[in-house]
Structure 1
Amino acid sequence: MAEQSSELSFTVAQRSVAGKKPQNEDAIGIRLPKDSTLINKGAVAVIADGVSAAEAGKEASETCVRNFLYDYYSTPESWSVKKSTSQVLTALNRWLYGQGQQYNDAQKGYISTFSTIIFKSQTAHLFHVGDTRIYRLRKGDLEQLTRDHSTYVNATQTYLARAMGLDVKLDVDYKSVDIEQGDIYFLSTDGIHDFISHKVITTELQALKPEDDEICFEQACEKIIALALAAKSGDNLSCQILRVDSLPTKTISEVGRKLSELPFPPYLEEGVILDGYRVEKCLHINNRSQVYVVRDVDTNERYCMKTPSVNFDDDLAYIERFIMESWMGSRISNPHVVKVIENNRDKKWLYYLTEYIEGRTLEQWIKENPKPAVQDVVYILDQISKGLRAMHKREILHQDIKPGNIMIDKNGEATIIDFGSCYSKGIAEIATPLDEPGILGTAGYSAPEVVITGKSTIQSEVFSLSVLAYEMLTGKEPFSGKLSKCRTSEDYLKTKYTPCFDENPLVPIWIDGAIKKGLRFNAERRHEDVLELMHELQTPNSKYKTTHNAALMDKNPLLFWQVMSGVWFVAFIVALVF
């Protein structure tokens, strides 16, 4: 057994034989990557059983195992295990189903069962369809973690109700379980578990000793197969055994040593050269970080350099977040998200570089444009939404969308900056002893659920973008600026929404309706995502107009016709652009 370490490690073995059949239609695979890939994507075991009645069962099972092991590790590191696997399996199933259409009967095509277990940090993620199985032996007790998707015709005949390639729609069982050191996971095809009992499997796995190596595990696989053959198994026989030898349970001191290898730079004066970058000016400084404009002395290129605040040089949670924000930023490629600059120089200090955007913040833009044209506002919001959608596709939430974190360049193009509050599901799955409590974003632009529970979703970003839209159109914060003071549900319920067109009569009623929906306190009642919000901001919606038109006509006929003129003008502009 491997010695205790701070990494996830295993002892593994697998075996697959044709048995009494002329060819083996089972497929198996295990991948145990090293270093950052193990941390970010995990270790994988997968088993598949091509359906015997299908003419391409062997090809289906081999494709499932081979393609899954390749495609899963090709997905973005910021994606969660569930999203990565779901995307890969959906694409794989559609390919198998499409290939099977060449046969007269779809059930004669590329059909296979599929079971995989992905070990990431201290969690095992199980995905399963069909009648292959995953078991876990923990402290002597064997538990079947998957359920068979089989329908019994009679005592001796069954058929698969679910399988890869069987239908264009794929229904996969998913569950996650905690991992403990010493756990043994056993994967098998029905050629084994249909012929030997739960008790026999338990006995054979219990016989494995803590000091047993891979040779002993291989012998255990062979013995289990032999027992199934002796029990008159007439099917292919495959099994895998994986024992968890160590978990990534790093101590605070271990993490701290790794993260603190580079010292924090001191406050940098103009003209100072750091790692070949000359400081031209300080753009921003607060108690958490500094941002400078720097110029590469070799290439003369200008960049922004963000350095951590020396106030936190002994705060491990802060250091971890600072390192992770540059990592997340480097994985987004979109013209409306600031680019993190990668360089091959040996760094002597802790910092990271981004592209330099010559322009002004949206905060300055709002002050300089107290009564902007509606179409200009919608244009800028659309660019911000495109940047957000690029982040959301990577399962990254910005969590601090506010005017100060949006740059408008000299061409009027908007770019999201600052990754200091970003959240990545993929990173969140990695166990760490470090935690940084509290709201990372700005309360006045954060959704109620973020302030109250500290948890964000895509609908939370819809709320923040709606706050921006309101402020850009009116020059004021929604709810009379009281959002920043709200901390409980009762606080939010006491606020009152003032329509945009009450503050700016040129704002069309349907645009105000879209913004009001995006600002609903109940996240489920908002738009599903920023794309839906932008569609409603760009497309006149009659349901919002009929809600307000009658009341406005009675109250102020002149204002009514001014607003309607604005509606028609914006609709005309939208028609020209889109």
Structure 2
Amino acid sequence: MASALRISIGQHTDKGRKEINQDFHGALVPEGRLLETKGIAAVVADGISTSPDSREAAETAVKSFLSDYFATPDGWSVKQSGDKVLSAANAWLYGRTRSGDGRYDHDRGFVSTFTALILKGCTAHVLHVGDARVYRLTGGALSQLTRDHCVRLEDGASMLERALGIAPTLKIDYCAVPFQKGDVFLLATDEMAGHLARQTPDVLQKLLNEFAQAEDLDQLARQAIARAVIEGANDNLTVQILRVDALPETAEEDLETLAGQLPVPVDLQPGQVIDGWRLLELVHVSGRSQLFKAQDPETGELVAFKVPAASAAADGSFLQSFLMEEWVARRLDNRHLMRTSQGKDSGRPARTRLYTTFQWVEGQSLTRWMEQNSEPDMAVVFGLVSDIAKGLQAMHRHQMVHQDLRPDNVMITPEGRAVLIDFGSTHVLGSLRQAAGLPGGVHGQGVATHQYMAPEGFFGVPADPSFDIYSLGVIAYQMLTGKLPYGADMARAASPAAQLRVAYRPASENGGRVPVWADAALRKAVHADPSRRYKEPSELVADLSRPNPTLPGIRPTAIAARDPVRFWQLVSLCLAVIIIALLYRLSAS
């Protein structure tokens, strides 16, 4: 079960030495699906001190954001949702400004700074306009995630150059950074931020340690503001403290951030140790990645340790797809599917470089297995096909299409169990990326070789479960015959119409090993028209196991063969009826 993001939060605001408090703040920690799709939001706003309407502007900005952001579609990214909601709020505030005194006086009107921090998955998103600030405390070091949108004047005063309600259009600063358990985020309006900036290193470090360790963050926020007032702060003050207590599993939309933040390891050699994994041997090399067999020296766990090739280090799209493979595997739990390693749950340090780890599957590829078993027993073939179908069925229940099913991506364990590996081309149906109109993660990256890919895939048709059923049918055909159902002809077809004209090569004609009824099942599975294929992998397995008289080319078995007792009962009944009829006629005459 995936863990959920958990935080501790403390917040406080004070008018300081001012007559009224024109700051406003708020936070919302949702439950259930909203926590996953929208995250946790903390917001601060500071109305300009020269306007009597600025308190209302700040309050409107915060309340409207916390209401409207969580009502945006699930498929929208944080940035897209924030842009839409804040643009609407800005338009409303600007309209109020233009209809009041602010139309003639720039120091009046419905004007407010605005800064929001969204913690979603394992990524912190910042939406910012104005001079409030967001700080991050991680590893004992404090960094500022925002910049002030203000201009310093000759007399030492400052003037906002960007804020809500100033102009008809709004330019929002946005950034996203990954975070870890124990990280602390601070949101502070300008006066509180200035107070923090004026602290000596020793005093600031002591305060930061309190933020990281205090049990009552609300009390700590009150104390920090009270200290600022005592030390001369003369404006409204607001501070929010968010401490990360527990992390969820990596979310799909975090992959872009991770791909941009983590460096790609280069020149790896057996014997090296990466984040506690000792590389044992280089197993496979391709133009896009390297695969090592690695081990956790403490637990003895063996893993497949996969790193991008150096040539792909600058390809952001590929790196996201690379990470997506592990994201997919974490959501699947089936003995016929590759699984991620257990290291994440065993206190392993945070990942410092870009790689993925999966449980090591001992055995050989199906390609190698077929080379060693040119005429396998039918029952063995059906058993392996059933294993693969069970793995596909589990993926399809999670709205995932493997999309690269071929013999090289099926492992046969020593006990004869089939395990699907390599989720690098998996397409997630209805994913957040797909719903938002963004690139579909791994979709389209390294899809199956042409011999195993569903024909419609050649012409850009989006993947669905029928893709995998076609590939499974080709694999089953090849295991039984050593050949392919269409040879290379299907890959050469120049249009969907031409694909429908490619002739299927009956498996039952290859030495007579494949029964006609099994051949009919294979023909249906690999049909060029996806609407005429099986809807579920299990349906193919069922029809390979026993004759299905509804399939084309399969004549119904005679009742005498299916149920001889019932056949002779019917014959006897017919004879009895005939005898009775004859007796009746004789007696009538």
TM-score, normalized by length of structure 2?
A: 0.52
1:286 match: 286
**Correspondent of 1:120 among 71, 74, 77:** 74
Unaligned residue ranges in structure 1 (runs of 5+): 1-30, 45-115, 125-176, 186-203, 215-244, 551-563, 565-578
The letter of the residue matching 1:273 is V
Structure 2 matches for 1:97-496, cutoff 5 A? 119-122=73-76, 180-181=84-85, 258-342=258-342, 343=344, 344-425=348-429, 426-429=431-434, 431=436, 440-486=447-493, 488-496=495-503
Distance 1:449 1:545, change over 3 A: closer
CA distance in 2, matches of 1:527, 1:121: 30
CA distance in 2, matches of 1:35, 1:349: 32
The letter of the residue matching 2:477 is Y
Structure of greater Rg: 2
CA distance in 2, matches of 1:271, 1:466: 42
Q: Is the 8 A contact 2:281 2:294 kept in 1?
A: yes
Q: Is the 8 A contact 1:32 1:38 kept in 2?
A: no
Distance 1:248 1:477, change over 3 A: farther
Structure 2 matches for 1:513-524, cutoff 5 A? 513-524=520-531
1:41 match: 37
Distance 1:549 1:393, change over 3 A: closer
- Match of 1:279, SS? strand
- Superposition deviation, residue 539 in structure 1: 2.5
- Superposition deviation, residue 491 in structure 1: 4.5
- Superposition deviation, residue 39 in structure 1: 8.6
- Match of 2:411, SS? strand
2:50 match: none
- Superposition deviation, residue 474 in structure 1: 0.7
Q: Is the 8 A contact 1:336 1:386 kept in 2?
A: yes
The letter of the residue matching 1:370 is S
- Match of 1:338, SS? coil
Unaligned residue ranges in structure 2 (runs of 5+): 1-26, 41-69, 90-95, 100-108, 115-169, 177-253, 562-589
- Superposition deviation, residue 487 in structure 1: 5.3
- Superposition deviation, residue 259 in structure 1: 2.2
CA distance in 2, matches of 1:449, 1:501: 26
CA distance in 2, matches of 1:485, 1:409: 35
CA distance in 2, matches of 1:268, 1:370: 38
Distance 1:542 1:431, change over 3 A: closer
Distance 1:274 1:414, change over 3 A: same
The letter of the residue matching 1:297 is P
Distance 1:432 1:537, change over 3 A: same
The letter of the residue matching 2:416 is G
The letter of the residue matching 2:484 is E
- Superposition deviation, residue 310 in structure 1: 1.4
The letter of the residue matching 1:286 is S
- Superposition deviation, residue 123 in structure 1: 8.7
CA distance in 1, matches of 2:269, 2:428: 34
The letter of the residue matching 1:360 is Q
Distance 1:437 1:385, change over 3 A: closer
The letter of the residue matching 1:497 is Y
CA distance in 1, matches of 2:74, 2:174: 12
2:515 match: 508
- Match of 2:261, SS? coil
Distance 1:33 1:491, change over 3 A: farther
- Superposition deviation, residue 41 in structure 1: 2.5
CA distance in 2, matches of 1:301, 1:321: 25
1:147 match: none
Cα offsets for 1:114-141 (capped at 9, x unmatched): xx966224399xxxxxxxxxxxxxxxxx
- Superposition deviation, residue 490 in structure 1: 4.6
CA distance in 2, matches of 1:348, 1:178: 30
Aligned-residue Cα RMSD (Å) equals 4.1
Distance 1:427 1:34, change over 3 A: same
- Superposition deviation, residue 464 in structure 1: 0.9
CA distance in 2, matches of 1:542, 1:123: 51
Q: Is the 8 A contact 2:425 2:445 kept in 1?
A: no
Q: Is the 8 A contact 1:123 1:179 kept in 2?
A: no
- Superposition deviation, residue 264 in structure 1: 1.1
The yes-or-no answer on 1:533 pairing with 2:487 is no
TM-score, normalized by length of structure 1?
A: 0.53
Distance 1:341 1:430, change over 3 A: farther
CA distance in 2, matches of 1:298, 1:418: 27
Q: Is the 8 A contact 2:410 2:418 kept in 1?
A: yes
Cα offsets for 1:314-371 (capped at 9, x unmatched): 1111111111211111110000001111423222221111111111001111111111
- Superposition deviation, residue 178 in structure 1: 13
The letter of the residue matching 1:461 is D
Q: Is the 8 A contact 1:272 1:278 kept in 2?
A: yes
